[in-house]
Amino acid sequence: MSFEKLGLLPALLETVKAQGYKIPTPIQAQAIPVILEGRDVLGGAQTGTGKTAAFALPVLQKLNETGRRSKHPRCLVLTPTRELAAQVGESMAVYGRKLPLRSTVVFGGVGINPQIDKLRRGIDILVATPGRLLDHCGQRTVDLSQVEILILDEADRMLDMGFIHDIKRVIKLLPGERQNLLFSATYSNDIRGLADKLLRDPVMVEVDPRNKAAEKVDQVVHPVALKEKKVLLAKLINDGDWQKALVFTRTKHGANRLATYLEKGGIGAAAIHGNKSQTARTRALSEFKQGKLKILVATDIAARGLDIAALPQVVNFDLPNVAEDYVHRIGRTGRAGSSGMAISLVSADEQKLLRPIERLLGRDILVENIDGFEQNQADKDEETFVNFNRRSPGQKRGRYSKPRQSGAGRTGGNSRNSNHSRARSGSAGNR
Ligand code: AMP
C-alpha cells in the first residue's frame, strides 16, 4: 500500500514525502479512504500508530475541497490534554502547510487573549481541550455553528479525566449535520455509549489492539525495595548510557523528587505534570526532545499523547494502578518500527499490580533480579546520596547493557559479579 493509492491530493503527498513517511501505517491505510468518503469513524488506535496523520490528512483534504465559507472553524478536534492539543495542532500545521487552511490551538493554563486574536482572524481547524473551548464559547469568542467535522482524540482518556459533560456541552453547540471521528485506545462501555450517541453508521478501524502494541516492546521487571528504586534507576541510566528515557511516577510529588534526585547526581532530568506551568512543561519537553535532558519524569496524565520519536526506554518507576495505563505508558517506546525497552521497578507492595497487567498483555513479563537490589533487602536510608554518576573503568556502555554489575553504580567500585537471576514471572521466588 502506498500513500498515492489512498486518494490524497498531490500537495498532501508531497508533505507526507517531506516528512519521510514512505508507506502508510495500518491505521492510515484503513482510515484515510473512509474519512475521505465522508463516513463516521470509530478508530481503535493509540498514540504512536500514526493516528494523527490518519485523520489530519483526509480532513485537510476535505476542508480544502469544500472551501471556505466563513471565518468560523469547520473542523474541531478535542483532546484530553494541553500537550496532545499542541501536538495535534502542530501536525495540522505541518501536514497542511501546502494548503490555504488555517488552524489554531486553544487550551487552558495560558493567556486567553492571544487565542481570541487568532480566532478573530478566522480559522478552518480548531484544536482544543474541552474546558478552554467552553470558556471561549461562553465569551462568544468562538462560533461552532459551521463545524463540519468533529474529532474526539483519545476519547477514552477524556472520559477518564471527567470531560464527558464538557464534551456533551460542546456537541450541543455543533450543527447536527457533520462527520464524526472518534479515536480511542480502549473500548470501555462508556466509550461504546459515547460512540453510539455520536456516530452515525460508523466504520470501525482498528489497529494494534492494545495488547498487541505491547508485543513490539521488550519488557522487564526488576524487583527492588521501594527506597532503592531511584538508586537502581540511576545505575541503569549510567550503566546503559541511556540518552533518552521517559520515566513514569504515580504522583506529581514523586515526579518532582525523582527529577531532583537525578539532577543532583548529574543526570539531566525534569518533571512534567499537571502542577507545572504550561511554559515549564513545554520547556521540559522541548529540552528533552533536543537531547538537552536525558530523563523526563512524568505522571500518566501529563505524558498522555506525548509524541517523542524513537524513545528507546520507558521506565515504570511506579507501576500504574490501572493495567491499561501500563500499555499506554509502554506505547511511548517501540514506535514506528524502532525497538523499545520497557523497564518496571517493582517493590514488594506493587506485586499485586503485575498480575492484571500480564492478564491484559496476555503474557508474563520477564523478571530480572539485579544483584544488590532485590526487594527483600533492607530498605536503605532514603537520603543516602550516592555518587552514581561515576562510571567504573571498563564498564560496558551501550543501550541497556547486560549483565548489570551489582556494586558499580552504588560504590564506584568495579564489581564484576553478574550473577543476576532470571525467572519467568509467576515462578520466581520473589513474585
Ligand atoms: P501518532 O500516532 O499520530 O502520534 O504518530 C506517531 C509518530 O509516527 C509521529 O512521530 C509521526 O510523525 C510518525 N508517523 C506517522 N505516520 C507515519 C508513517 N506513515 N511513516 C512513518 N512515521 C509516521
Distance 2 CA to ligand 1 centre (A): 15
Q: Give the pLDDT of residue 377.
A: 42
Residue pair 146/175 in contact by the 8 Å Cβ criterion: yes
The Cα angle at residue 31 between residues 28 and 37, in degrees rounded to 5: 130
* pTM metric for this prediction: 0.59
What confidence score (pLDDT) does residue 415 get?
32
Bridge partners (DSSP) of residue 181 are 41, 151
- The region that residue 20 occupies, defined by phi over 0 for left and psi between -120 and 50 for alpha, beta otherwise, is left
**pLDDT score of 98 more than 50:** yes
Q: What is the mean pLDDT of residues 325-346?
A: 78
Q: Which amino acid is at 389?
A: N
Half-sphere exposure of 241 (CA within 13 A, CB side): 9
Instruction: Establish whether residue 331 lines the binding site of ligand 1, counting it when its CB lies within 6 angstroms of any ligand atom.
Output: no
* Whether residue 380 has pLDDT greater than 70: no
Q: Ligand 1 pocket: which of 19, 23, 208 to mutate (most atoms <8 Å of CB)?
A: 19
Q: Is the pLDDT of residue 311 over 90?
A: no
User: Is the bond into 403 cis (omega within 30 degrees of 0)?
Assistant: yes
- Residue 198 has what pLDDT? 95
Measure CA of the first residue to CA of the last residue in the chain; give whole Å: 45
Does the pLDDT at position 230 exceed 60? yes
Residue 84 pLDDT exceeds 80: yes
State the distance from the centre of ligand 1 to the C-alpha of 144, rounded, in angstroms: 29
Average pLDDT over residues 35-51: 89
Pocket lining: 47 vs ligand 1, CB cutoff 6 Å: yes
If you ran DSSP here, which 8-state letter would residue 50 be given?
S
Every domain of the chain with CATH number 3.40.50.300 lies at 3-206, 212-421
Q: Which residue has the higher pLDDT, 393 or 113?
A: 113
* Length of the chain counted residue by residue: 431
- Distance from residue 277's CA to the centre of ligand 1 (Å): 27
Q: Which atom of ligand 1 is nearest the CA belonging to 21? A: 20
CA distance 331 to 49: 9
Written as one string, the DSSP assignment of 178-231 is -EEEEEES---HHHHHHHHHH-SSPEEEE-S-HHHHGGGEEEEEEE--GGGHHH
Instruction: Assess whether pLDDT exceeds 90 at residue 130.
Output: yes
Kindly state the cell numbers that stand for 358: 500480564
> Strands across the sheet with 149-152, in order?
103-106, 125-128, 75-78, 149-152, 179-184, 41-44, 203-206
Which segments of 218-299 does DSSP mark as H helices, in order? 229-239, 252-264, 278-289
For ligand 1, the distance from its centroid to the CA atom of residue 99, given in whole angstroms, is 20
pLDDT, residue 29, reads: 93
Pairing of strands 366-368, 422-424: antiparallel
- What architecture (CATH level 2) is domain 212-421? 3-Layer(aba) Sandwich (3.40)
Lowest average pLDDT, out of 70-84, 179-193, 233-247, 380-394, goes to 380-394
Pocket test for ligand 1, best of 52, 59, 205 (most atoms within 8 A of CB): 52
| Nearest-CA residue for atom 21 of ligand 1 | 21
> How far apart, in whole angstroms, are the C-alpha atoms of residue 263 and residue 285?
16
Q: How many percent of the chain have pLDDT more than 70?
A: 82
What pLDDT does 337 receive?
52
Determine which helix (DSSP H) or strand (DSSP E) holds 152, and give its type and residue range.
strand 149-152
- Under 8 Å between Cβ of 319 and 350: yes
Residue 396 has pLDDT above 70, yes or no: no
Q: Which three cell numbers stand for residue 394?
A: 571498563
Say yes or no to pLDDT of 142 above 50.
yes
Could you tell me the distance, in angstroms and rounded to a whole number, from the CA of residue 193 to the centre of ligand 1?
29
Q: Does domain 3-206 have CATH number 3.40.50.300?
A: yes
Indicate if ligand 1 lies below 6 Å from the C-beta of 30. Answer: no
